[in-house]
Amino acid sequence: RNSAEKFQFQAEVSRLMDIIINSLYSNKDIFLRELISNASDALDKIRFLSLTDKEILGEGDNTKLEIEIKLDKEKKILSIRDRGIGMTKEDLIKNLGTIAKSGTSAFVEKMQTSGDLNLIGQFGVGFYSVYLVADYVEVISKHNEDKQYVWESKADGAFAISEDTWNEPLGRGTEIKLHLRDEAGEYLEEGKLKELVKKYSEFINFPIYLWATKEVDVEVPADEDDSSEEEESSESSSSEEEEDAEKGEDEDAEKKPKTKTVKEKTSEWELLNDVKAIWLRSPKEVTEEEYTKFYHSLAKDFSEDKPLAWSHFTAEGDVEFKAVLFVPPKAPNDLYESYYNSKKSNLKLYVRRVFISDEFDELLPKYLNFLMGLVDSDTLPLNVSREMLQQHSSLKTIKKKLIRKALDMIRRIAEEDPDEANDKDKKEVETSSDDDEKKGQYAKFWNEFGKSIKLGIIEDATNRNRLAKLLRVETTKSDGKLTSLDQYISRMKAGQKDIFYITGTSKEQLEKSPFLERLKKKNFEVIFFTDPVDEYLMQYLMDYEDKKFQNVSKEGLKLGKDSKDKELKESFKELTKWWKGALSTDNVDDVKISNRLAETPCVVVTSKYGWSANMERIMQSQTL
């Protein structure tokens, strides 16, 4: 086409497309899921805008918020069309090729190591999966504020954009035409597409239609000349029932004109999904498998991994909402990398079934950003801007309840995990078939998200105690396993008042510490804190269940009274005095007789409010 403007793909996008085209990845099906997901996003956008501007939807077919799939077997074209927001010419240029999203290079990198294309949607480059099955793609799009344009590319490093003067006007929205490769012929079969929509797009909240052929019975006048032989051969598949029916007709032959039933092929829109919002159903009616699939569709994670836990509930009272929360099976790579500057929450906000946003940070505190899920509120107003909504007073209440429910859900992972039970409890717990599945789940949770719990203790004073209950640590007695503070307390020696801990770089290093000598000898249990974040954690976690935390390398360690204490103090009085003078107050605050050591003759202790040696080290390296 002469009027077409040519553009080069941005370099990373071009590389990505090469990888996709040459991929040996066998699961090519995923392209359909990505296209439907984009169509659904575009529909969400126009529906959201229509809340404050009714005109925007237009009239007639334009108001139909749906997705339509059509096949052209002869030309080998599969098209997917939506009546969503559409793209202007500028959108087409930017979104489909010239501006690489941050996920592009991350995904290219990942492809080179793992080759698992299944995650493409998570990286924000799902559209390009069309080149798994097509060698030529056209994107026809009409946005309310622009003319209709066609974007096209054969994935040869360039794409073209032309004003559309030859296709049927779309009204509004986008139609993607995939010119399928020879080996992708299966995507021209209706059965295959129905199966894929079922499998991948079950939770799309807009109707998905397929222009499907259907055989219908039609009554036509029976031609007298028709020999019955011919009739039978032309309807070789006719069933006995039909033969019976024909017999019946024969009996009435004198009253009615003779007719016969023939099969005819017609096409009509067939609805492929039932648009049910899973969160509106009663939790009792939703199966485990459905929750798992729902999680996969939310997370754009189509692995086999089950979420570690979920919570589906309705909140009533002043603020009404329904919510489903999930603990993912794995933490994303960058969860903590960008912790302090990322704004990303993984919660979708709906108001009365209408998708509003997935970038609402007011719904969950940062430390719970690892959760996936959605909130659908009837209390929030529909016809206000996102900015207004962000300041709505109900959000505080929603947030508070979500945190509570989230922490309950995490606590339940521990409660249901047979590995977590105290020795005391173990005898009481009956083993059930569930046990195998729940076994070790909390340790898994802790490995993936333990740091989030620690950050929560630091940041969320209101829920500090609840979060501390979820904390897991290794100790001098935990034998390489994780233990909770409750378990620690249950093992405390008679007369032990404080919870003892020590901080450092590794357990191995700490085990040799002179600070532990005496405690070990006296059979006290000491917690090892070896993560840099632990130093900060312990500045906020002062006590738990009325027990104070005592750093054993700091001043103030009390291991119970020793009758010789006074005597010793007296007899070494001169020595300590001399020593203090020799070191001068610039170097030490005090020199004292101590009962914390067993073999080592002396040790440098940090003052109660000073930084531990480990903290000094961390501050010097400035790592968190």
63 is in an annotated binding site: no
Q: Would you say 125 and 103 are in contact if contact means Cβ atoms under 8 Å apart?
A: yes
Rounded to whole angstroms, the Cα distance separating 482 from 466 reads 18
Residue 17 or 315 having the CB closest to ligand ADP: 17
Distance of closest approach, residue 113 Cβ to ligand ADP, in angstroms: 21
Residue 126 or 307 having the CB closest to ligand ADP: 126
127 is in an annotated binding site: yes
* 273 near Mg ion (CB under 5 A): no
| Helical (H) or strand (E) element with 35 | helix 30-52
Q: Which of 50, 62, 95, 342 binds ligand ADP (CB under 6 A)?
A: 95
Report the half-sphere exposure of 412 (CA within 13 A, side-chain side): 12
610 is in an annotated binding site: no
Three-state secondary structure call for residue 547: strand
Rounded to whole angstroms, the Cα distance separating 517 from 600 reads 8
* 164 near ligand ADP (CB under 6 A): no
Residue 173 or 456 having the CB closest to ligand ADP: 173
Residues 41-80 that bind ligand ADP (CB under 6 A): 41-42
| Helical (H) or strand (E) element with 198 | helix 190-200
273 is in an annotated binding site: no
Please state, as a whole number, how many other Cβ atoms lie within 10 Å of the Cβ of residue 62: 17
What's the token pair of residue 339? 């912790």
Residue 605 interacts with, from ligand ADP, Mg ion, none (CB under 5-8 Å by kind): none
95 is in an annotated binding site: yes
Q: DSSP state, 620?
A: H
Residues 124-163 that bind ligand ADP (CB under 6 A): 124-127
Spell out a b/e string for 138-153, using b for 16 or more CB atoms within 10 Å of the CB, else e: bbbbbbbebebbbbbb
Site string for Mg ion, 490-529 (x = CB under 5 A): ----------------------------------------
* 104 near Mg ion (CB under 5 A): no
Q: Which of 20, 32, 39, 380 binds ligand ADP (CB under 6 A)?
A: 39
Question: Among 55, 44, 34, which Cα is nearest to 84's?
Answer: 44
622 is in an annotated binding site: no
Rounded to whole angstroms, the Cα distance separating 480 from 73 reads 62
* 418 near Mg ion (CB under 5 A): no
- CA 545, 546, 551, 557: dihedral to nearest 10 degrees? -140
27 is in an annotated binding site: no
Stretch of residues binding Mg ion (CB under 5 A), selected from 37-45, 77-85, 245-253, 578-586? 37-45
Rounded to whole angstroms, the Cα distance separating 274 from 462 reads 42
User: Which residues on neighbouring strands pair with residue 246, listed in sequence order?
Assistant: none
* 297 near Mg ion (CB under 5 A): no
Strands 173-180 and 77-82: antiparallel
Residues 112-151 that bind Mg ion (CB under 5 A): 126
CA distances from 40 to 33, 83, 206, 208 (A): 10, 9, 7, 10
* 174 near ligand ADP (CB under 6 A): yes
Rounded to whole angstroms, the Cα distance separating 533 from 553 reads 18
* 84 near ligand ADP (CB under 6 A): yes
157 is in an annotated binding site: no
Residue 28 or 554 having the CB closest to Mg ion: 28
575 Cα distance to chain centroid = 63
Residue 125 or 527 having the CB closest to ligand ADP: 125
Q: Using CB under 6 A as the criterion, which residues of the chain lie in contact with ligand ADP when the complex forms? A: 34, 38-39, 41-42, 82, 84-87, 95-96, 124-127, 174
- Specify binding-site residues: 34, 38, 82, 87, 95, 101-103, 122-127, 174, 386
Query: Which residues are known binding-site members for ATP?
Result: 34, 38, 82, 87, 95, 101-103, 122-127, 174, 386
Q: Name the site residues for Mg ion (rule: CB under 5 A).
A: 38, 126
